[in-house]
Amino acid sequence: MFWRKFFSRMANSKTNWLVYLAEICLIIFSILVAMQADRYRQNIRSENKLDDYLRAMYQDLLIDQRLNQNNLADCLNDIKNIEASMRLSQINQSDSLSSALQNFGAVISRGVFRAFPPTTYDIMISTGDIGIIKDLEFRSRLAGAFSFRADYVKKDLLAFDALTDDVARSLGQYGNLSCMVSTPEPQTCLRDRPGFIDNFNNELFLLLTNARSRAYHLRIATRYFEATIKKMEEMYDLQAQEEENSDQ
């Protein structure tokens, strides 16, 4: 009904209705072209943003992987030192006690890498930009790697800090811990030698349990990160890009 009236008015009008129709088509065409151009510009911006995010995330993964590997190596040394310290502390001889305390001192002084700054992945989650990664399998892989980093690796290291403080306070009743760690003859810092021999293993058992759990989780983390790094290199050829940038 509407179109019948419209064409009827056009037919009765002195103005050529084909001109109006052409103008309408031109307007519609211009709108469609503008929308397509805007969509194209948005896609270019998204692609550029994704490229920047991926480069930054790739660097995050490489840095965290190095930290995981360093922490794992130190953790394995912790296990060796703690086991040796527990074994030697049960031999009531000055040399054995000295070696036990030196091994314990190595664990205390070695410490761990505790830097956990926000990652590019965290930023993408908080801003909602994670949606520009269209590959859901890859997005899930990233979520697994960075979630494991926060939920296990970080918590293990915080637990190690807390346990170290607890053990240090507990051992303080048997001797001067600062003296034990710094002197070449740590057995001379003991005030209660029998009490130390009777209780030292119980205290270190908690540290040993934590160290073994840390080592287990760090092995998983290194596998997670290695697989994710390899996937990024395969999908986006980031390794080649980074090598090209470093040459320049």
Look at residue 240 in the predicted model and tell me its pLDDT: 45
Residue 56 lies in a domain: no
Is pTM beyond 0.95? Reply is no
Q: Where are the beta strands (DSSP E) in the chain?
A: none
Comparing CA positions, the residue from 242, 223, 231, 214 lying closest to residue 65 is 223
Percent of the chain with pLDDT over 90: 20
Percent of the chain with pLDDT over 70: 76
pLDDT at 3 exceeding the cut of 50: no
Residue 20 lies in a domain: no
Look at residue 45 in the predicted model and tell me its pLDDT: 61
- Range with the lowest mean pLDDT among 17-21, 25-29, 64-68? 17-21
Residue 206 lies in a domain: yes
Residue 27 lies in a domain: no
Residue 195 lies in a domain: yes
Residue 204: burial class (beta carbons within 10 Å; 0-12, 13-18, 19+): buried
Count of helices and strands (H, E) across the chain? 9, 0
pLDDT at 1 exceeding the cut of 60: no
Which of residues 128 and 44 earns the better pLDDT score?
Answer: 128
Which of residues 210 and 116 earns the better pLDDT score?
Answer: 210
Look at residue 169 in the predicted model and tell me its pLDDT: 82
Residue 40 lies in a domain: no
Distance CA 181, CA 115 (A): 25
Q: Which residues pair with 175 in a beta bridge?
A: 190
Domain that holds residue 157: 68-130+139-248
Number of domains comprising the chain: 1
Distance CA 91, CA 95 (A): 9
pLDDT single digits (tens) 213-229? 999 999 999 999 999 99
pLDDT at 26 exceeding the cut of 90: no
pLDDT at 76 exceeding the cut of 50: yes
Residue 108 lies in a domain: yes
Range of 25-34, 90-99, 141-150 with top mean pLDDT: 141-150
Calculate the dihedral angle through the C-alpha atoms of 205, 209, 215, 221, rounding to the nearest 10 degrees: -150
Residue 150 lies in a domain: yes
Range of 1-15, 22-36, 94-108, 135-149 with top mean pLDDT: 135-149
Look at residue 163 in the predicted model and tell me its pLDDT: 85
Which of residues 20 and 163 earns the better pLDDT score?
Answer: 163
- Range with the lowest mean pLDDT among 24-28, 148-152, 208-212? 24-28
Task: Please provide residue 149's backbone torsions phi and psi, each rounded to the nearest 5 degrees.
Answer: -55, -45
Look at residue 8 in the predicted model and tell me its pLDDT: 60
